[in-house]
Structure 1
Amino acid sequence: MAIGMARDAAFEAHHRRYEDWFERHEAAYVSELLALRAFVPREGDGLEIGVGSGRFAGPLGVQVGVDPSPAMLHYAAKRGIEVVEGVGEALPFAADRFDHVLLVTTICFLDSPATMVAEARRVLRPGGRLVIGFIDRDSPLGQVYATHRHESVFYLEASFHSAEEVAAMLDDGGFRVDAWGQTLSHSPERMREIEPLRSGCGQCAFVVVSAINEG
């Protein structure tokens, strides 16, 4: 999860609690992972913005990860990822460096999502792919998350976005959206089985959008 420096404290302080979530909610985690797998390219140079502990970059074959939390990067490095400390709004990479860029439940923690989109476009090669997995605020479960975010040490500082808002950010930032997918129709606490990926958005909490850099 990529976070602006001001929002990093919870992840740095509660990194063990963050890791435990994936162990306790395996069905939700695998559902998200499989949803992303359908969109993340299997070849080329990849970057995850907000790599966190590497729970997604590792299985998806994304080689490089950036995050502001040293504790999180320690986990990611152990999972074989090349880690760099930094934030999504000021990526420490040269232009045209990557073939694809990934964000997972990250956009809601950024100080400036629009700046991140611009930075993602800068480091992507022309025709490169940006894949964003996020909590859709307008989905039924997303509204529950937004209403109760103050009860979570992680989501306390989150600013959830709707699919429509994310699409507008991408369009304004020079990307062409080419696919949507969604999963998690139930809360992770209630899930016992992996949910298949559905097309579109609006029904499920976790949405994946894929967009092409038209620069």
Structure 2
Amino acid sequence: MALFNKIAYRYDQWYQTPRGSCIDAIQKKLVWDMAEVTAGERVLDLGCGTGNYTLELARYGCVTTGIDLSAGMLAAAKSKADAANCKIDWIEADFLKLPFASATFDFVLSVTAFEFVADPRAALLEAMRVLKPGGRVVIGVLARDSAWGDLYRKEARDNPDSVFAAARLYSAGELRELFPDCRCIKGGLFVPPGPPEIEVVEAMALENMGQLQYNNSNGQIGNPGFLVARWDKPFDKI
């Protein structure tokens, strides 16, 4: 994707700001809690970008592969992995035509990438194909019905060249309908988009309350900015 090539080397800069670091920590906790990763597993990160999650998986002891359509993003990811001495396979490929045999991976992850896939259901079917029986797919997406969703839509309106101009944001129902038998959906990111900046302690208190209300009410209370879903592949499926 040419648009992502242009922003590859400044993509991580936001995560180095106080707010960006806080948001990253919130999203990662939701993802890792849902993923239940075990060291030694063979893992595929779909839409790995600059390797934000891929490197953590490798450091944890997983046999890790990162897939992305953007050569620029992959170059940035490889540079970071080399500097950290992390062994990761980086492959430029399409979600809809993964270059792997069926039942290859124990775990397939995708975070903030399905927003940019032309056929998300077909992409999820392909992810399930390369998943081993008993494995799981975890997908994290930007939520449409939230203050963050409003911000992304405004950015898309104000700047046609923004990556969000091509993004599809999701409701929990739409995410669940991508594939039958979704095991679970959790929501988070109740910290509002800035400005003004808020203290980390205040932000986490707000986040914890929002997650508690939303996830304990089966999504009936609150509007999270980030959704995480999990699908498990039955043991009797190839």
Per the normalisation by structure 1, the TM-score is 0.86
1:145-195 deviations in Å (ceiling 9; x for gaps): 234433462212111121101101121xxxx22222222113343454254
Larger radius of gyration: 2
Tell me, yes or no, if the aligned pair for 1:41 and 1:100 is still in contact at 8 Å. Answer: no
Q: In terms of mean alpha carbon deviation, does 17-26 or 45-54 score higher? A: 17-26
- Residue 12 of structure 2 aligns with which residue? 19
1:8-48 deviations in Å (ceiling 9; x for gaps): 12210111221212112111111111111102232221101
Q: Percent identity?
A: 28
Structure 1 residue ranges without an equivalent (≥5)? 1-7
Q: Out of 46, 58, 66, which is 1:49 matched to?
A: 46
Tell me, yes or no, if the aligned pair for 1:27 and 1:192 is still in contact at 8 Å. Answer: no
Q: Measure, in 1, the Cα distance between the counterparts of 2:21 and 2:118.
A: 29
Tell me, yes or no, if the aligned pair for 1:104 and 1:134 is still in contact at 8 Å. Answer: yes
Q: Measure, in 2, the Cα distance between the counterparts of 1:101 and 1:57.
A: 11
1:58-89 deviations in Å (ceiling 9; x for gaps): 12445111001112112222323321111211
- Residue 95 of structure 1 aligns with which residue? 102
Q: Measure, in 2, the Cα distance between the counterparts of 1:68 and 1:192.
A: 37
Change in Cα spacing, 1:150 to 1:17, as seen in structure 2 (3 Å) is farther
CA RMSD, 1 decimal = 2.0
Q: In terms of mean alpha carbon deviation, does 129-138 or 144-153 score higher? A: 144-153
Instruction: Choose between structure 1 and 2: higher helix proportion.
Output: 2
Tell me, yes or no, if the aligned pair for 2:148 and 2:193 is still in contact at 8 Å. Answer: no
Q: Does 2:2 align with 1:9?
A: yes
Aligned residues: 204
* Bigger relative contact order, structure 1 or 2 (CA pairs below 8 A, ≥6 apart): 1
Per the normalisation by structure 2, the TM-score is 0.78
